Amino acid sequence: MRGFRYYEFLMAGMVTVLLCANLIGPAKVCTVALPLLGAFSFGAGNLFFPISYVFDDLITEVYGYARARRVAWAGLGALIFASVMSQFIVRVPPSPLEPYNATLQPALEVVFGGTWRIVAASLFAYLCGDFVNSFVLAKMKVLTNGRWLWTRTVGSTVCGQAVDSLLFYPIAFGGIWTSDSLIRVIAFNWTFKVGVEILTTPLIYTIVARLKRAEGVDTFDRGTHFTPFSLRDEGERRQYG
């Protein structure tokens, strides 16, 4: 398996964003008032969760689907470990000598005490959405022979974020929220996440070009086995530059 200069840094960046989005963000619901559209509520994690899709696009575009697949599983492992540890910390008995017990323990329960339903929905939606995003981008790259990068970064995000939102909110809040609320939240969050991808497209073009020059490769997933359940390094790598 060939080593690359920046692959591990991108993996670390994506995992970091995922941990922040899933552990810090869900604890707070934000409301913003938009001109002509009114007020919209959303989880704070959505402010930076779309960045994980930017990392996913960069990894898939430069290193291929197989390398992105490895990052997806690394992200899932990190999320599971962090979720288990946060539940353990919340449930371990606090010391009676702790001077802030009256406020600290309730605060920890609010921030990190998400129900099993929300945690399971988050993990399942992330994994499905991430694989869909990488699959669509890799397939579109082959179909376009590497041209029109913006079509596959935006197109893959449209599909991946749709899967993520359509899975997470009904699984986490179905039967708790009204159907109208679910539809509104799904529509707003999907639009917001796709909008972030569109706005970051010029930055993605710059980073992709620099990464390909630095690594000296451009990967096309011809002949790649697109099963999620593999850690093999695959893909046709062409010399770049």
Q: Which residue has the higher pLDDT, 76 or 43?
A: 76
On average, the pLDDT of the chain sits at 89
pLDDT at residue 25, rounded to an integer = 63
String of b and e for 155-180 (b: at least 16 CB within 10 Å)? bbbbbbbbbbbbbbbbebbeeeeeee
Average pLDDT over residues 91-118: 81
Q: Where are the alpha helices (DSSP H) in 30-99?
A: 50-63, 65-91
> Do residues 4 and 63 lie in contact, with contact meaning Cβ atoms separated by under 8 Å?
yes
- Amino acid at the residue 35: P
String of b and e for 105-144 (b: at least 16 CB within 10 Å)? eeeeeeebbbeeebbebbbbbbbbbbbbbbbbbbbbbeee
Average pLDDT over residues 207-232: 94
Going by pLDDT thresholds of 50, 70 and 90, the confidence category of residue 26 is low
Q: How do the domains of the chain map onto residue ranges? A: 7-220
Classify 51 as helix, strand or coil: helix
> Do residues 53 and 161 lie in contact, with contact meaning Cβ atoms separated by under 8 Å?
yes
Percent of the residues in the chain that have a pLDDT greater than 70, as a whole number: 94
Q: How far apart are CA 139 and CA 141, in angstroms?
A: 5
Task: Provide the token pair at 231.
Answer: 């850690």
First to last CA, the chain: 22
Lowest mean pLDDT among 81-90, 114-123, 124-133: 114-123
Going by pLDDT thresholds of 50, 70 and 90, the confidence category of residue 38 is confident
Q: How far apart are CA 60 and CA 203, in angstroms?
A: 16
Q: How far apart are CA 26 and CA 41, in angstroms?
A: 12
Could you identify the residue written with the tokens 């290193």? 63
Lowest mean pLDDT among 16-20, 138-142, 180-184: 180-184
pLDDT at residue 102, rounded to an integer = 82
pLDDT at residue 78, rounded to an integer = 94
CATH fold of 7-220, please?
Answer: Arp2/3 complex 21 kDa subunit ARPC3 (1.10.1760)
Lowest mean pLDDT among 37-46, 79-88, 114-123: 37-46
